[in-house]
Amino acid sequence: MNKFILFFFIQIISIFSLFSNPILESLVYKIRDPNTDKKEFREYLEKIGEYIALDIAKDLKTKKQNIQTVMQVDAEHNIVDENIVLVTILRAGLPLFNGVFKVFPESEAGFFAMQRNEKTLKASVDYVALPPLEGKTVIIADTMLATGGSMLDAIKIIEKRNPKNIILVSAIAAQEGIDNILKHDPSIKIYPAYVDPILNEVGYIVPGLGDAGDRCYGIK
């Protein structure tokens, strides 16, 4: 089995194990509901970010740390031992990012402003604000992973700055977008809350939830 197929296989297994969580699925159900208002929509996304971040933490490097309790006895615990940079893509990524940030509050943060052209489906990168990334674990949170074009633009900029690894978080990912990311780099770990099968002819995820930026903040 070549390296690419092996990585691909491991990715599919971890993606399936994540979205078989019924608590996460109940939150995905809520954000799909057209009656969920903007405030609730952002709150559910934040919760999704928190729960996925807890799952990511299980895969991060840890170190053993002792603490002496008031009972004068040592307790040993595994503490995350990574320099994390948490990155998001405006607008729709922001609530998801806030949820992940709650779990990794010591992280540095980075931001991209991008907008997908509705006809070409290519994103224009309008703003990049990143701390030094060399040797760090970069977690990119964006609510929708559709064609994967926006994430790939961010990944290509981030890769040039030599991070240790790149992890992606999304609420809903299209299978096509996942495939495009893994084709670019099969070592990237993707944590979607749910994977949908179809992208329609205008690049929207089906069944999806509509325009995530608009659902968070209103029509632009």
Q: CB–CB of 186/3 below 8 Å? A: yes
Cα separation, 52 vs 157, in Å, equals: 24
* Closest CB 132 distance from ligand PRP, rounded Å: 24
Which partner from the list ligand PRP, ligand URA, none does 150 bind, CB cut-off 5 to 8 Å by kind? ligand PRP
Q: CB–CB of 84/108 below 8 Å? A: yes
* Closest CB 146 distance from ligand URA, rounded Å: 4
Helix (H/G/I), strand (E/B), else coil: 135 = coil
Which residue matches tokens 């949170």? 141
Say whether residue 104 binds ligand URA (CB under 6 A): no
User: Is 219 exposed, middle or buried (CB count within 10 Å of its CB: 0-12, 13-18, 19+)?
Assistant: exposed
Which partner from the list ligand URA, ligand PRP, none does 208 bind, CB cut-off 5 to 8 Å by kind? ligand URA
Say whether residue 204 binds ligand URA (CB under 6 A): yes
Which partner from the list ligand PRP, ligand URA, none does 205 bind, CB cut-off 5 to 8 Å by kind? ligand URA
Q: CB–CB of 174/200 below 8 Å? A: no
Q: Which of 12, 19, 80, 91 binds ligand PRP (CB under 6 A)?
A: 91
Neighbours of 40 (CB within 10 A): 14
Q: Which of 151, 195, 212, 216 binds ligand URA (CB under 6 A)?
A: 212
Backbone torsions φ then ψ of 37, nearest 5 degrees: -80, 175
For residue 161, whether the previous peptide bond is cis, meaning omega lies within 30 degrees of 0, is no
Q: Which of 144, 169, 195, 216 binds ligand URA (CB under 6 A)?
A: 144
> How many residues belong to the site for ligand URA (CB under 6 A)?
10
Q: Which of 99, 110, 192, 203 binds ligand PRP (CB under 6 A)?
A: 203
Say whether residue 146 binds ligand PRP (CB under 6 A): yes
Cα separation, 66 vs 123, in Å, equals: 47
**What is the contact surface with ligand URA in residues (CB under 6 A)?**
92, 144, 146, 203-205, 208, 211-213
**What is the contact surface with ligand PRP in residues (CB under 6 A)?**
89, 91-93, 114-116, 121, 123, 142-151, 177, 203, 211-213
